[in-house]
Amino acid sequence: MTVPTPTNTPHGPAYDGRLLPRPGEDVVDQGAGFDVTTLISRRRVLSILGAGAGALALAACSNSSGASTASTASSATTAAAAGTEIPDETNGPYPADGSNGVNILEESGIVRSDVTSSLDGGTTVAGVPLSMTFTVTDLANGNRPFEGVAVYLWQCDAAGLYSMYSEGAEDETYLRGVQVADAAGTVTFDTIVPGCYSGRWTHIHFEVYPDVASATTADNAIATSQVAFPRDMLDAVYQLDTYPGSASNLAQIGTLDDDNVFGDGYDLQMGTFTGDPTSGYVGSLAVAVDTTTAPTAGAAPGGGGPGGGLPPMGGGTPPAGGPAAAPTA
């Protein structure tokens, strides 16, 4: 197969008018988020060549990843591009989106790409760097890039603590932020690999809003879901002293199939990650949103999980010193 050739621009190499997120690598090695957008822009070509031939060519491109890949979730990318809606998951118990006691979405400065510090410039979290990109597509509009939607991301820190809720972190606002999707439907956050607290597999929460003006309360979200992480990546990260208790907490869960959120399926939520614990990771997730279906943000998950029980809003039980019981909405 012929490797696509990028075009040099004043801002760096580009392909199909989009700057390459990894300028030093081939077009076919730009990551899942870039591949999804390329796939979408090839819809016209697919109609000419036939879906079968086009799918084979695109599969060949997506499988030519570099040796630095920690884990690949090509099934998630393919399914999203084919028109499968991202599963709705619980937003609790520490969303800070107005549905459970506090609301950071009303705070000045919440629209930001770097979420590693509190909004007031206070505490900066420690942890393995992670650049996380979401590529959002609009199923109600031919699965095209969903330009203009707002994505709200939040997660725990390396110790399993959530800002605004956890004991000792109630006055912090780190690891929370909103970004607006560009013409390719992408948003990118600079964050860290989350820790693992007792009762939940490692994850990142996110909500999708129609636009940034509506990203003020969970009631306006059109999709709510979570990013899953691969075991091999976590095993490497959790050897670091920065992540106390995470390795044992992850081991207690067993596998993703035992998690009380991801236990009913996670193919569409498994991120693609490249990198290592020393230099950090680059992650991506394809997020297909269907505005014709009713969102179920905040609904309790199905699935099993340790002991079969769930804390309020299905969040897991953080380790000692972790998030205290969340206030009621």
Residue 1 confidence (pLDDT): 45
CA distances from 260 to 73, 190, 281, 318 (A): 20, 27, 26, 14
Say whether both 154 and 221 belong to one domain.
Answer: yes
The secondary structure of residue 220, as a DSSP letter, is: G
Q: Across-strand partners of 153?
A: 177, 206
What is d(CA 196, CA 126) in angstroms, rounded to the nearest whole number?
14
Query: Which of 103, 262, 283 is CA-nearest to residue 193?
Result: 283
Domain for residue 235, yes or no?
A: yes
Burial class from Cβ neighbours inside 10 Å (0-12, 13-18, 19+) for residue 81 reads buried
Separation of alpha carbons 294 and 233, rounded Å: 34
Kindly state whether residues 269 and 134 are assigned to the same domain.
yes
Write the CA distances from 58 to 86, 97, 184, 268, integer angstroms: 21, 38, 18, 18
Give the residue from 236, 205, 232, 244 showing the smallest Cα distance to 99: 205
Q: What is the three-class DSSP state of 316?
A: coil
Does residue 268 share a domain with residue 152? yes
Give the three-state DSSP class for 324. coil
Range of the domain at 306: 85-314
The reply to whether 293 falls in a domain is yes
Cα 204 versus chain centre, distance: 6
Same domain (yes/no): 132, 216: yes
Q: φ and ψ at 56, to 5 degrees?
A: -65, -45
Residue with tokens 């590529």: 135
In this structure, is residue 80 part of a structural domain? no
Tell me whether residue 193 is in a domain: yes
| Same structural domain, 199 and 233 | yes
Q: Are residues 121 and 221 in the same domain?
A: yes
Per-residue pLDDT of the chain (329 residues; tens, 9 = 90+): 455 676 564 445 655 545 555 667 776 666 554 454 444 333 332 332 333 333 333 333 333 333 344 444 444 454 454 579 999 999 989 999 999 999 999 999 999 999 999 998 889 999 999 999 999 999 999 999 999 999 999 999 999 999 999 999 999 999 999 999 999 999 999 999 999 999 999 999 999 999 999 999 999 999 999 999 999 999 999 999 999 999 999 999 999 999 999 999 999 999 999 999 999 999 999 999 999 998 876 554 433 332 222 233 334 444 433 433 333 22
Dump pLDDT digits (tens) for 99-147: 999 999 999 999 999 999 999 888 999 999 999 999 999 999 999 999 9
38 and 119 both lie in a single domain: no
Q: Are residues 138 and 195 in the same domain?
A: yes
> Do 136 and 225 belong to one domain?
yes
- Residue 77 falls inside a structural domain: no
Kindly report, residue by residue over 221-249, the tens digit of the pLDDT: 999 999 999 999 999 999 999 999 999 99
Domain CATH for 183: 2.60.130.10
Q: Which DSSP string corresponds to 71-90?
A: E--HHHHHHHHHT-PPPP--
Both 164 and 263 in one domain: the answer is: yes
**DSSP H or E segment with residue 252:** helix 246-253
Residue 300 and residue 244 share a domain: yes
Number of domains in the chain: 2
Q: Both 12 and 143 in a single domain?
A: no
CA separation (Å) from 277 to 68, 175, 239, 241?
A: 12, 19, 9, 12
